[in-house]
Amino acid sequence: MKYFHEKIEAKWRKYWAEKQTFAASNNSDKPKYYVLDMFPYPSGAGLHVGHPLGYIASDIVARYKRHQGFNVLHPQGYDSFGLPAEQYAIQTGQHPDTTTKENITRYREQLDKIGFSFDWSREVRTSNADYYKHTQWIFIQLFESWYNNNSNKAEAISTLISIFEKEGNASVNAVCDDHIIPFSAADWNAFTSEEKQRILLQYRLTYLAETEVNWCPALGTVLANDEIVNGVSERGGHPVIRKKMTQWSMRISAYAERLLQGLNDIDWSESIKESQRNWIGKSVGAMVQFKLVDSDNYIEVFTTRPDTIFGVTFMTLAPEHELVSKITSPTQKAAVEAYVEATAKRSERERMADVKTISGVFIGAYAEHPFTKEPIPVWIGDYVLAGYGTGAVMAVPCGDERDYAFANFFKSQNGMPEIKNIFNKDISEAAYGEKVGFELVNSDFLNGLGYKEGTKKIIEALEKINQGKGKTNYRLRDAVFSRQRYWGEPFPVYYVNGLPQMIDQKHLPIVLPEVEKYLPTEDGQPPLGNATTWAWDSVQCSVVSNELIDNVTIFPLELNTMPGWAGSSWYWMRYMDAQNANEFASADALKYWENVDLYIGGSEHATGHLLYSRFWNKFLKDRGYAPTEEPFKKLINQGMILGMSAFVYRSEDSKKLYSKGLIAGVNVHPIHVDLAVINDITNELDIEAFKNHPLYSDYKDAEFVLENGKYIVGREVEKMSKSKYNVVNPDDICNDYGADTLRLYEMFLGPLEQAKPWNTAGITGVSGFLKKLWRLYFDDNGLQVSDAEPTAEMYKALHKTIKKVTEDIENFSFNTSVSQFMICVNELATLKCNHRAILEPLAVLISPYAPHIAEELWSQLGHEDSISTVAFPVCEEKYLVESEKEYPVSFNGKMRFTIKLPLDLTVPQIQEIVLADERTIKQLDGRTPNKVIIVPGKVINLVG
């Protein structure tokens, strides 16, 4: 009976779907285990073999936990809003919903083919109205909340209003806008409704503000930092500039300390934690005010080194700083404006990364030193960022390398004084940036002090003169939440006299309207400005120029959409109760599942999705909706599967293409070749297929310079990418070798968290292993399993594998499990094992890795139910206890034969048996050894 993977895998996929084998219950006496993959964006390209890597790993764990008696939630869905679908719609005229659904259908076919144990009854799509209805609801909750520093959590905005009504805002300790104007209870109660709304906007967790954003003119939208690569958009490579726009923002900065401290309570890799720590960027120091000369304005600076204040030589503002246009002198105006314009074309990430380039302009203004009253020249420089700290730096060149380089670069120019040295150290060659090992000099009342004493004393002095105070600062900035796009969640917002109002929650969802064009309107409004009809609460509403009609009053609607991360910031909770039409999830479901036990996904989401998700989870916990502080207990970042690219080598004149072995000494240019036109095992190019391929029509008449009559391509490991033509379709592997082979091979490639190259040639070994496994159970006449008692060697082979595989799954070391399976099957084949007591647990053991063949073996063994919940085998150590040892027997250090002896023999007993052995007698040939060396359990050596 042969192993036909096509029939077996199709049979069990159908069985699982019909029986809903992997559907999880929200009401179970079993312990729960929630395993989750970062859900995919369904692109038109479909999956390549690199994509399923993390899914296979999570599926192994999910299946293993079911075997262990857990109620396992292993859901899947689609992050289906996003810029790529919108750009494709602009190019082709197809509705993003149409192409997204087509892409999802393709993804679903591919995912099903690989045999994942997903609970598809809980599938979510962020672009479905029944999903983003709840995203809109969460946005409203954020709008209706403020962050109370006293209770250290978000609270309903009604509690803040209550304080204002009774006490005003003097005693309010909130995360809010800077420079809030104080008011009394009487003032508040006398304010108009509009005045109250404007004040509340300064406290709400989601608010409107003029913000510096990354604007991409070609795409007509704001981009997040992680959507920009080397100063251009990741999508399309278009220029990105910095500009100010009125945007919705979210006060994630309120959660900076909790986000930081929460990292101590989760099982994530240290590298991801460190990325988040750096992104949050906690700094302890002081806020200092420098009054401007001949102006009512002042520059506010956050510094971690207030002890160096007497070393301030100049000040640097970010080019976007609001004071730049106000205080620039007429003589410097042209130079400043040119510099600001040039800087706007560079992204913040580019500016942060570029530590070599020094640029800046003196703006012709001066600030006053708080203590010496000396004038300090004010410059702008793109190494200062508007969104970090206050967007201003008090430059102390003697103590900071970047300030030192800046001062020396511009030392001969107007507005750059000599560097002041305040350390008892030589700074002629470099700044002294240490916090220890110095005494302050030239620092007035700080002379003779070190860092700690100087910091404490200067903060006290600044507070006395009302020009500063101690402060903890964070690099983490509030997240811009508006996008000038079409394919995203509509805001549940309309405006009354320019002030935002939330559409009543009973009318949700606000459905994304149809538009004829997906580009901004002619007058510059976002694409939703092209809509003429909107819908909510299942009711079509007539809209005049995107304005909500309420009786006879017309209110403009919000025309921006939410960013891509909106739907992905809470989706794991929707899986807990995906069919709930009234709530994002019921309290009972949330209480039962709590949070994700294992989360697997890419490390590229370290400071985007993972940070926003933690923020939303903490917020929902504060407001009583989420049961836990953190969303993901354990996180594993899978490595990348790299592609094996192929190359042909063309001459400079493109008339010849040289085979790989003939390029030495020839000036050639490598060209990526589609893997479809090569033999992936022999690396031989199919020349006719190459000539007829549309990509290579320019080489139809080229001369192919062959080696031994063949054209051998070059190979190189690179990132798997369509542009490199090195993508391998998992469908092809499943069709040719089977899904179980694909699953095992991807795990066999190497440790989950490391990058590893794909090589299709290596998959045949795994395919052969499954056939060998099959032959343990079947011969040409069918099932040949015996009920006889296995031998000790058979039990040992099995339980050694149980022990290894159990440890490997618990430690997420899946690659070594595959190796152990191969060893075990080889050992059992050698032992001619066909014993049910061995083969039944072996089928269960391999089930998480190769579920289709395991189900078929289990069925053929006479079982009617699925193998998926059969108890996982437990290692019995008694089968692993060694009772015998196979000793190598050496003569003068050279091993001549082996002998198997009981381990409990004494040295004299071992010696007696060895000397009496016929092989020893023959080897000695009548001689008596001078010495017999015996190390019990290890060595036998006869000398002389």
Residue-wise pLDDT tens digits, 481-500: 999 899 999 999 999 999 99
Residue 541: pLDDT above 70?
no
Task: Round to whole Å and give the CA distance between 742 and 758.
Answer: 11
Residue 684 has pLDDT above 50, yes or no: yes
Is 212 exposed, middle or buried, given 0-12, 13-18 or 19+ CB atoms closer than 10 A? buried
Across the range 122-133, mean pLDDT stands at: 97
Q: Which long-range contacts (CB under 8 A, 24 or more apart) does 418-424 make?
A: 418/313, 419/313, 420/310, 420/311, 420/312, 420/313, 421/311, 422/308, 422/310, 422/311, 422/396, 422/398, 423/311, 423/398, 423/399
Angle at alpha carbon of residue 827, lines to 824 and 830, rounded to 5°: 150
pLDDT at 645 over 80: yes
- Kindly report which listed range (446-450, 600-604, 692-696, 879-883) carries the lowest average pLDDT score: 879-883
pLDDT greater than 90 at residue 117: yes
Return all residues near 17 (Cβ < 8 A) that are at least 6 apart. 112, 120
Residue 809 has pLDDT above 60, yes or no: yes
Q: How many Å apart are CA 327 and CA 340, to the nearest integer?
A: 14
The CA-CA-CA angle for residues 41, 47, 48, to 5°, reads 135
Distance, CA of 792 to chain centre: 48
pLDDT, residue 540, reads 47
Contact indicator for 344, 353 with CB cutoff of 8 Å: no
Cα 807 from chain centroid (whole Å): 26
As a whole number of angstroms, the distance between CA 622 and CA 929 comes to: 83
How many beta carbons lie within 10 A of that of residue 847, not counting itself?
Answer: 25
Residues 393/315, Cβ–Cβ less than 8 Å: yes
- Report the DSSP pairing between strands 499-502 and 221-223: unpaired
Q: Averaging pLDDT over each range in 80-94, 207-221, 492-506, 528-542, which range is the top one? A: 492-506
Residues 6+ apart with CB under 8 A from 786: 834, 835, 836
Q: Scanning the structure block, which residue is given the tokens 């399923």?
A: 52
The count of other CB atoms within 10 Å of the CB of residue 6 is: 11
480 burial class (0-12, 13-18, 19+ CB within 10 angstroms)?
A: buried
Residue 289 has pLDDT above 60, yes or no: yes
Q: What is the mean pLDDT of residues 363-385?
A: 96
Cα 5 to Cα 797: distance, rounded to the nearest angstrom: 26
Instruction: Read off the pLDDT band of 542 (50, 70, 90).
Output: very low
Output the pLDDT for position 43.
87
Distance (Å, whole) CA 72 – CA 872: 15
Which parts of 831-885 fold into alpha helices (H)? Answer: 836-846, 851-860
Residue 382, pLDDT > 60, answer: yes
Residue 511: strand pairing partners: 535
Q: What pLDDT score was predicted for residue 543?
A: 47
- 45-77: pLDDT as tens digits: 889 999 999 999 999 999 999 999 999 999 999
The answer to whether the CB of 12 falls within 8 A of the CB of 851 is: yes
pLDDT tens digit string along 243-275?
A: 788 899 999 999 999 999 999 999 999 999 999
Cβ atoms within 10 A of the Cβ of 648, count? 27
Residue with tokens 């990348």: 640
If we measure between CA atoms, which residue out of 134, 215, 205, 140 comes closest to residue 175? 205
The pLDDT of 536-547, averaged and rounded, is 52
At 745-754, the pLDDT tens digits run 999 999 999 9
The SS3 of residue 531 is coil
- State residue 232's pLDDT score: 81
> Any bridge partners for residue 668, and if so which?
651
What pLDDT was estimated at residue 59?
A: 98
Q: Is the pLDDT of residue 551 over 70?
A: no
Instruction: Give the pLDDT band of residue 732 (cuts 50, 70, 90).
Output: very high
SS3 content of the chain, % helix, strand, coil (to 5): 40, 25, 40
Q: Is the pLDDT of residue 537 over 70?
A: no
- Which of 382, 377, 374 lies closest to 339, judged by CA? 382
Averaged pLDDT score across all residues of the chain: 93
pLDDT band at 205 (very low <50, low <70, confident <90, very high): very high
pLDDT digits (tens, 9 = 90+) for 819-850: 999 999 999 999 999 999 999 999 999 999 99
How many CB atoms lie under 10 A from the CB of residue 428? 6
| 760: pLDDT strictly greater than 90 | no
Mean pLDDT of 910-922: 93
Phi, psi angles (nearest 5°) of residue 493 = -135, 140
Q: How confident is the model at residue 525 (pLDDT cuts 50, 70, 90)?
A: confident
Which 3 state secondary structure label does DSSP give 836?
helix
Look at residue 549 and tell me whether its pLDDT is greater than 70.
no
Mean pLDDT of 402-421: 94
Q: Quickly list H helices, 695-813.
A: 730-736, 739-748, 763-777, 792-810
Minimum mean pLDDT range among 474-478, 572-576, 811-815: 474-478
pLDDT tens for 447-456 read 999 999 999 9
Cα separations in angstroms, 188 against 163, 226, 409, 497, 698: 10, 42, 53, 20, 76
- CA within 13 Å, CB half, 11: 14
Burial of 405 (0-12, 13-18, 19+ CB in 10 A): middle
Residue 941's CB is within 10 A of a number of other CB atoms, namely: 19
Residue-level pLDDT at 904: 85
Percentage of the chain exceeding pLDDT 70: 98
In sequence order, which residues have a C-beta less than 8 Å from that of residue 928 and are 6 or more positions away? Answer: none
For helices 763-777 and 739-748, angle between their N-to-C axes, nearest 10 degrees: 120
Better-predicted residue by pLDDT, 518 or 744: 744
Give the confidence band of 84 by pLDDT, cuts at 50, 70, 90.
confident
Candidates 247, 240, 407; CA nearest to 312 is 407
Residue count (the chain): 944
Is 793 in contact with 859 (CB distance < 8 Å)? no
- If you count DSSP H runs as helices and E runs as strands, how many of each does the chain have, helices first? 29, 39
Token couple for 723: 């542009």
Which residues touch 912 (CB under 8 Å, ≥6 apart)?
A: none
